[in-house]
Amino acid sequence: MAAQDDEVPLNAIRAFVTVAREGSVTRAASSLGTTQSSVSRYLSVLRDYLGADLIARRGRRSDLTEFGRLFANAVSEPLETVGFTAKRMRRRTAAGTNRIVVRTSLSTFASSLLIPNLQAFSAEAGGVIVDVISSLSLPSSSDDFDILITRDLSVIEPADSWEIYNEELVCVGPPNLVAGRELSIVRSIPILNITSRPDILPTWLRAMNLSSNDIRAGARYDHNYLALPAVMTGKCLLVAPEIIVSDLVRGGALQIIPGSRAPSGMQYRAFAVDRSEHPEIARSFCRWVARLCKRATLAQAT
């Protein structure tokens, strides 16, 4: 018999919720993979603990009393949530070598900064293999990834997060075209249009106190990584996040037009999802990415 100050009989509550859902002790026992007598014992324990009848037997049916209905309504959903969360967050022993999957909606950031530096993280983390996938779709808890790096998406599951970069925009061009020129060059040289980031050019124009009528519209490209070769070799300009062009600027392939730097208001974030099979490695990776972006930002300022 359960005393008033005994621990809550969670197994008995689970059995009761199953009876309430199935409508009979027999079906509940089958659902739980146990015997009818075990379910009946659980119901007896819960009745003693709560001090009230929850089930009224009517032939083969097990109808809920009014108290039973109130209790079932109160505990059924939280119990299901606990079960779902525990299954989703269960740690499984990974076979073979440590391996994490990084998912990102920032393909140019990944190709220009993240991927070229992955070997450094792998060496730092003892040879961890890092898979990188790119997707613009909203992730779900059933998708296979350990880390999400994004500017405009979010995760709908438990995760630790890091702010890794506050986006700054700059206007760049090939040095032989923009060397010694001022911001007024944008009125005469075409600026490429990136269709995957339609927000960039209007945001930058507002910051520069310009309108679309003040510039020459250039060719359209789906992504910045497609536009970068065009701006390096052509007679055109590109407004892009500074972090993705910083290496090209330092290497002399591109030059920033003086006075063209402006914040976009967008923030890059890294999420390490709780269900990762390697949660410590995932969090370590996010901290590493934050340091990588900080170094890139400091290099931009020098």
Q: What is the pLDDT of residues 167-215, one digit of tens each?
A: 999 999 999 999 999 999 999 999 999 999 999 999 999 999 999 999 9
Output the six-digit token pair for 206: 């507002």
47-73 average pLDDT score: 85
Which residues share a beta bridge with 63? Answer: 56
Q: What is the pLDDT of residue 141?
A: 79
DSSP 3-state of 29: helix
Report the mean per-residue pLDDT for the chain.
88
CATH superfamily of 164-264: Periplasmic binding protein-like II (3.40.190.10)
User: Residue 290: pLDDT band by 50, 70, 90 thresholds?
Assistant: very high
Which 3-state string (H, E, C) describes 159-196?
Answer: EEEEEEEEEEEEEEECHHHHCCCCHHHHHCCCEEEECC
Output the six-digit token pair for 247: 């290496």
Report domain extents, the chain: 8-91, 99-162+267-294, 164-264
Angstrom distance (rounded) from CA 60 to CA 63: 10
More confident residue, 53 or 77: 53
Output the six-digit token pair for 279: 């949660």
| CA distances from residue 283 to 124, 275, 288, 289 in whole angstroms, order as listed | 14, 12, 9, 10
User: Residue 33: pLDDT band by 50, 70, 90 thresholds?
Assistant: confident
Could you read off the pLDDT of 250-285 as tens digits, one per residue? 999 999 999 999 999 999 999 999 988 889 899 999
222's CB contacts (< 8 A; 6+ apart) are 194, 195, 196
53-78 average pLDDT score: 84
117's CB contacts (< 8 A; 6+ apart) are 292
146-160 average pLDDT score: 91
User: How large is the C-alpha radius of gyration of the chain?
Assistant: 29
Topology annotation, domain 99-162+267-294: D-Maltodextrin-Binding Protein; domain 2 (3.40.190)
- Written as one letter, the residue type at 106 is L
CATH architecture, domain 8-91:
Orthogonal Bundle (1.10)
CB of 55 closer than 8 Å to CB of 19:
yes
CA 274, distance to chain mean position in Å, is 11
User: Residue 3: pLDDT band by 50, 70, 90 thresholds?
Assistant: very low
Q: What is the pLDDT of residue 252?
A: 94
| CA distances from residue 120 to 129, 134, 288 in whole angstroms, order as listed | 11, 21, 10
- Written as one letter, the residue type at 140 is S
Residue 68 has pLDDT above 50, yes or no: yes
CA 131, distance to chain mean position in Å, is 15
In this prediction the pTM is 0.66
Residue 4 has pLDDT above 50, yes or no: no
Q: What is the pLDDT of residue 111?
A: 93
User: Residue 140: pLDDT band by 50, 70, 90 thresholds?
Assistant: confident
Q: What is the pLDDT of residue 1?
A: 41
CB of 45 closer than 8 Å to CB of 9:
yes
Q: Do domains 8-91 and 99-162+267-294 have the same CATH topology?
A: no
